[in-house]
Structures are given as C-alpha cells and as structure tokens.
A and B are shown apart, each in its own frame.
Chain A
Amino acid sequence: MSEKVGMSALTAMLSVRSGDSREQTEGFLREMFDMISSVLAAGDTVKVPGIGMFKTIDVEARKSVNVNTGEETVIPAHRKVVFLPCKELAATVNAPFEMFQTMELTDELAAEFEVPAPAPEPEEVELPEQQAELQQAAKPEQPEEADHPELPCLSEQSVQTEQTEQSDQSDQSERSDQSDQVPASDTSGTVKRRFWPGFFTGFVAACVCALIVWGVMVVVELKRPDVKMTVTEVGPAPVDTKTDTISSGNGQASATAEHSEAQQVAQTTPEVPTQPSDQPVYDTISKTRYLTTMAKDHYGNFHLWPYIYKENEKILGHPDRIKPGTQVVIPDLAKYGVDPRNPKDIAKAKQMGLDIYARYR
C-alpha cells in the first residue's frame, strides 16, 4: 500500500511476466519512455496501448504571487504534458469504487446532504428480520418436539411469520410517518427546517430504542416454554398494526408485498437451523440484501462475496444486476479451502471479485 515502485521493481515484474531477461526488459522500458519523451518534446501526442494517451497542451500566461515575498509575478505561457489513462487502466484502478454511480439529488436529499445525515434508515429496517433469523438459527431443536410432535413446529412457524410481518408493518408505519413529516416540514418554511434535523435525530433515536425494547420482548417471549401462550398473546397484535397501516394510508399494496416477503422469509429460514453443514444453505437477493450483505452475514466479511457468486455462476449474470428474488446457494467456505480470518484469502477473494467484474466490461 502506497509504496513507491521504481524502475528496478517494474523491470523485475515485467521480466517475470514476459519471460525476457532483465537486460532486455530494461532496454525495452528505457527505449519506450525515451521515445514517448522525444515525441512529446516534438509536440506530438502518443497513445500507448493499455496505458493511455500522453499529449501536450498550451498554457496561457497568468499572474501569480510569490508566496515568500508577496511579489506579483507572471508565469509565462508554456506547454505542459497531460496524461489521459485509457479506459481499461482507469477501470482497474477505480475497481474498489466501481459500484458507485452519479445520481441526481432532489431538493430534500440535497438539504439532507448539507446537514450531516442522521443514522441511516435501511440498517434499522433490516434489524428485526435479522433478529428473527438469528433467533431461529440460535435454537436448532425445539424442546417441546417430544411432547407435541407436529403442532409446536407449525405454531412456531406461524408465530414467526406473524412476528416478522408485524415487524415489517411497524417499520412500514414508521416509514410512512417519516415520509409524512418531510413534506410537512417543507411547507412550514425555512425557519422550521432549521430545527428539523434535531427533531429527526430524536425521532430516529426513539425508533431505535423502541425496536430494541421490542426485540428484547420477542426474545423473552420466544424463550418461554409455553408456545400457546405466545400465540394467543401475539395473535391480536397484527390486527392493530394492520389497521394502523391502513389508516396511515401509505400503500396497502406494499404491506401485502411485505407480507409475502415475510412468508418467504418464514419459508426459507426454517431450513437453516435443522440442516447439517453439508446441505446447501439458501438465501434470497432483495433490494436491501446483496451478495456482499450475505457474505457479511454468513462469513463475517463482505469481501468474500465472489465465492457465493462462484457457487451460483450458472444463474447469475452481472454481479450488480441480479434480480431481487433470486435464490442463491451459500457455499460452505471449507469447500473452497478459505479461512475468513486469513488476509491472504481475503486478498484472493478481492482479486476474484475484480475478475468477475472484468468479465462484464
């Protein structure tokens, strides 16, 4: 990282790659840079394949101030060298930031951007679902299974669906609350807007607290031996939240969409605890869940996403353009002999990621 690579190191690397002797490679490099220099000195442009274009441009005379003496000086008109890297080189160097794209800012977003943004929403939204998943993963076998062979499992599942649904809906209602507030603060003018960020952070903090309290309650409730109690307790709750969402009027359709998603979660997650490690683990791509998120969740390091990609190579295309709803297999890292704590393996995974992106260039 941020070392200086000199001519000798460059010669060594290139001679290893090309198979020529060092003297030959050095001669090539020297001749090449000499030639570029002489062409540039003649005022011509040079295109070097794979590196980029060197050209000279005229700079007009301009005034400047001597920093030490404060004297005004004139920098005379001259010619200078400009380098434009070619697309391939630019893309290779920019690979870590490749996923970012230029986006247009709406007025609200721009205002938010100028004020340092409070805690990002999406993390919060994912929280209850992840908790639910974690809880399920934490409890491999229900102790009641011996007593009630079939029933507890079902009720457990239904509880799970209801709860995830409930959480989604409560999120939904929160979100709709917030979206309601944004235009309100807009209409109330600029004076109010100044106080808005403080209020917003307070609101977000309150939401987070409420979510944490709710999560703890869920944990306590799930750990109770009597499952039927929890069913009766949780049962009426969703009705309330449903009426809430309807009265808040923001997208009943989205509520149903969330519902189906929750069902999907319930369908896919129960597989996780029961299966031994040699059976495949599945996960579903969504708008907020990418290969990197999965790699972070399953392996503890998002850099390892290329292994998930590799496992599902047949059904996946460009890694940034996977359709939400695509189900992917999460491979066991031991299959590839990868240790998530080994920095060498991480570096290898990064290289794999670059290779994958290079395919779609």
Chain B
Amino acid sequence: MDAKTFTTELAGRLGRTPQEVSSLCRGLADVVGETLAQGDSLIVPSFGSFEPKKREEHVALHPATGRKILIPPKLQVVFRPATALRNKVRSQERDDDEQSNSQAR
C-alpha cells in the first residue's frame, strides 16, 4: 500500500479529508524525527517501539571490488514490533501456509 492510498483510506476511516490527514502525517513525521534525533525512543502500545541505535564504525569488504572499506558510525532507527503485532503477523503466516498448501493439493 503506497503513501497515497494509505492517506486516503485513513481519511475515509477518520471521516476527514486526505489533505488534513497528510498534513497530520507530516506533523507526526516531524515529531517522530525530533524525538528520535534527541536520542529518545518512542513507544506505541500494542504496535511497537522506535528507537535510535548507534552502529559502530567497522572495516568491511566492498561487495563489488573486494577491497577493504571503512564503514563510518551511524545512527539508525530500529523498530521493534510489540508482542501483539508480532503474534498477529505470525499467526497470519500459518493461515497463509495452510491456504497455499491446500491450494497446492
């Protein structure tokens, strides 16, 4: 689902215009960016948490040339799904598997 369908569908659910929803999304993106840039982590109950994590600098091999390169340190956003979301997705997989299996048979 791309960004446009996402906003229009969310707007439909909320009963607001897609413009309003997209501006809200932009505001949310700013807030999330600021929070994470300060080094704070963001926790959304029954969805998951976003936290900034530092990746240390390290030496690696260039995949194409095979030469040694130095990867600089980096701050990355890491998302950890909450247990509720994880289970939802996980259980979905089983159903899918059974369906696909039964279809194959």
Interface centre among B41, B89, B97 (most CB of A within 10 A): B89
Size of chain B's interface in residues, with CB distance under 8 A?
Answer: 67
Docked complex: A32-76 residues within 8 A CB-CB of B:
32-33, 35-37, 39-52, 54, 56, 58
Partner of A78, one of B44, B50, B93: B93
Q: Considering the chains assembled together, what is the distance between the CA atoms of A44 and B48 in angstroms? A: 17
Q: Considering the chains assembled together, what is the distance between the CA atoms of A29 and B48 in angstroms? A: 13
**Given A6-B43, A47-B3, A89–B70 Cβ distance below 8 Å?**
no
Q: Considering the chains assembled together, what is the distance between the CA atoms of A67 and B35 in angstroms? A: 36
**Given A32-B10, A37-B85, A93–B72 Cβ distance below 8 Å?**
no
B6:A58 contact, CB within 8 angstroms: no
Docked complex: A92-122 residues within 8 A CB-CB of B:
92-97, 100-105, 110, 113
- Say yes or no for A3: interface residue by CB 8 A criterion: yes
Partner of B85, one of A6, A10, A40, A52: A40
Q: Contact flags (1/0) for B19-35 with A, using CB distance below 8 Å?
A: 00111111111111111
B9:A81 contact, CB within 8 angstroms: no
B81:A79 contact, CB within 8 angstroms: no
Docked complex: B22-81 residues within 8 A CB-CB of A:
22-48, 50, 52, 57, 59, 62, 67-79, 81
The size class of the interface chain A forms with chain B is 35 or more
**Given A56-B89, A79-B90, A51–B47 Cβ distance below 8 Å?**
no
Instruction: Give the Cβ gap from A247 to chain B, nearest Cβ, in Å.
Output: 36
Which residues of the other chain, B, contact A46 by a CB distance below 8 angstroms? 1, 6
- Say yes or no for B2: interface residue by CB 8 A criterion: yes
Partner of A102, one of B13, B30, B72: B72
A50:B68 contact, CB within 8 angstroms: no
Nearest A residue to B71 via CB reads A102
- Say yes or no for B96: interface residue by CB 8 A criterion: yes
A89:B6 contact, CB within 8 angstroms: no
**Given A17-B31, A49-B26, A93-B37, A81–B43 Cβ distance below 8 Å?**
no
Instruction: Give the Cβ gap from B27 to chain A, nearest Cβ, in Å.
Output: 5
- Say yes or no for B14: interface residue by CB 8 A criterion: yes
- Say yes or no for B88: interface residue by CB 8 A criterion: yes
- Say yes or no for A234: interface residue by CB 8 A criterion: no
Partner of B44, one of A33, A85, A96, A101: A33
Which residues of the other chain, A, contact B26 by a CB distance below 8 angstroms? 49-50
Q: Contact flags (1/0) for A10-29 with B, using CB distance below 8 Å?
A: 10011001101000010111
A35:B72 contact, CB within 8 angstroms: no
Additional A-B contact list (10), CB under 8 Å, known A88-B33, A105-B70: A5-B35, A5-B41, A18-B27, A32-B28, A50-B32, A51-B25, A79-B89, A97-B74, A110-B59, A354-B37
> B-contacting residues of A (Cβ < 8 Å)?
1-7, 10, 13-14, 17-18, 20, 25, 27-29, 31-33, 35-37, 39-52, 54, 56, 58, 77-83, 85, 88-90, 92-97, 100-105, 110, 113, 354
> A-contacting residues of B (Cβ < 8 Å)?
1-3, 6-7, 9-10, 13-14, 21-48, 50, 52, 57, 59, 62, 67-79, 81, 84-86, 88-90, 92-94, 96-97
CB-defined A-B contacts under 8 Å, sample of 21: A2-B39, A2-B40, A5-B42, A7-B43, A7-B44, A18-B27, A31-B14, A33-B44, A39-B1, A48-B6, A50-B25, A50-B29, A51-B28, A77-B93, A78-B94, A90-B77, A93-B36, A97-B74, A105-B69, A105-B70, A354-B37
